[in-house]
């Protein structure tokens, strides 16, 4: 089944299940790096808020053998269990004074989002840009958010400078930075993957063995740290929080090299002065191309915080991040 036919089949199935009291709408929703996700929006005819369920992954499941009937069952059950997830309620964004304390920012790649950024208030930082969104509600697996467009500024009667000033003040407060050694992150991932079978002592033993092997084979390889926020969502923005990298550099008494892992986190490492930043950039690009979902990629470049200059600069000349291809 071709993709467009799949989308229409799902829409028709939900219309038949839910009846005439519901509006079922297919939406093309722009995401990071030029990605367009296709979603299906479901709402009662007398409601303004509608949850949107993305269909791209369901199409891949169909291509891998799952019957369309089972996919429609899954989407229907997902809607019934999450009826309150908003796609966008225009009333929420009506009053700037009511929402200004919940406006935050995230980092995206400037070149890969060039077309998207034409419609968004933004501020450039190196090869990246800050864009603003409304942090509407925190849930168990992340946040409910609404992206802020230039049209919102006109309706609120404020300037981009005012919006950015607000976001720069709110983001460190609402999404505080968290720096953890990579070993702690690996332990958390193991615990989430293993569930009830997780044994802390066994995982500690594996990490200790890996550390001993690392020191034996390459004793100068440094400790990696992960910088993000408590939710691990859009946490790469923490790299430009005022004083955050500076405090970390002062603690280690060294300059800091910053590797963009994704839009959700960056990796930090003390600068020994012996790194080939072009090699590091090529490694980041390879990981981006093979391991990081296209919509989560941030940059292929390497950054460095200088304690002397108290600023972050790009120190590589790697390939620019390209706009991702859609389904």
| Weakest-pLDDT range from 149-163, 190-204, 233-247 | 190-204
Structural element, H or E, at residue 54: strand 52-54
Predicted confidence (pLDDT) per residue in 168-199, tens digit:
999 999 999 999 987 665 544 444 455 555 45
Beta carbons within 10 angstroms of residue 225's beta carbon: 20
| pLDDT for residue 47 | 66
Q: 265 phi and psi, to 5 degrees?
A: -165, 160
**Largest pairwise CA distance in the chain:** 69
| pLDDT for residue 203 | 39
> Tokens 């995230």 correspond to what residue?
106
Predicted confidence (pLDDT) per residue in 8-56, tens digit:
999 999 999 988 888 888 988 888 998 888 988 888 777 665 667 889 8
| pLDDT for residue 299 | 96
In the chain, % of residues over pLDDT 70? 79
Q: pTM of the predicted model, to two decimals?
A: 0.79
| pLDDT for residue 214 | 47
Q: Report the distance separating Cα 180 and Cα 266, nearest Å.
A: 11
| Local confidence band at 83 (pLDDT 50, 70, 90 cut-offs) | low
DSSP code per residue over 82-101: -TT--S--TTTTS-HHHHGG
Predicted confidence (pLDDT) per residue in 251-305, tens digit:
999 999 999 999 999 999 999 888 999 999 999 999 999 999 999 999 999 999 9
């Amino acid at each position: 089944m071709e993709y467009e036919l799949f989308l229409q089949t799902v829409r028709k199935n939900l219309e038949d299940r839910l009846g005439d009291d519901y509006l079922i709408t297919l939406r093309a929703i722009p995401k990071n790096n030029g990605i367009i996700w296709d979603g299906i929006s479901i709402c009662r005819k007398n409601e303004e808020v509608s949850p949107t369920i993305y269909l791209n992954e369901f199409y891949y499941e169909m291509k891998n053998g799952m019957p369309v009937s089972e996919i429609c069952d899954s989407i229907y059950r997902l809607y019934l269990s999450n009826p309150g997830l908003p796609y966008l309620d225009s009333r929420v964004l009506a009053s700037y004074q009511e929402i200004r304390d919940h406006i935050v920012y995230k980092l995206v790649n400037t070149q890969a989002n060039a077309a998207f950024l034409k419609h968004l208030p933004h501020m450039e930082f190196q090869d990246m840009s800050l864009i603003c969104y409304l942090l509407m509600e925190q849930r168990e697996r992340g946040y409910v958010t609404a992206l802020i467009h230039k049209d919102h500024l006109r309706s609120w009667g404020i300037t981009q400078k005012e919006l950015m000033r607000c976001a720069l003040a709110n983001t460190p407060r609402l999404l505080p930075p968290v720096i953890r050694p990579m070993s702690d992150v690996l332990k958390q991932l193991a615990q989430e993957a293993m569930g009830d079978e997780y044994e802390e002592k066994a995982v500690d033993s594996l990490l200790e063995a890996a550390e001993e092997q690392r020191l034996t084979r390459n004793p100068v390889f440094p400790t990696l740290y992960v910088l993000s926020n408590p939710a691990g969502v859009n946490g790469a923005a923490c790299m430009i929080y005022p004083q955050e990298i500076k405090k970390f550099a002062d603690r280690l008494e060294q300059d800091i090299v910053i590797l963009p892992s994704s839009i959700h986190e960056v990796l930090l490492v003390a600068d020994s002065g012996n790194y080939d930043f072009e090699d590091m950039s090529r490694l980041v690009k390879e990981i981006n191309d093979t391991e990081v979902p296209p919509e989560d990629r941030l940059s292929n470049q390497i950054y460095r915080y200088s304690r002397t200059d108290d600023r972050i600069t790009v120190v590589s000349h790697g390939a620019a991040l390209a706009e991702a291809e859609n389904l």
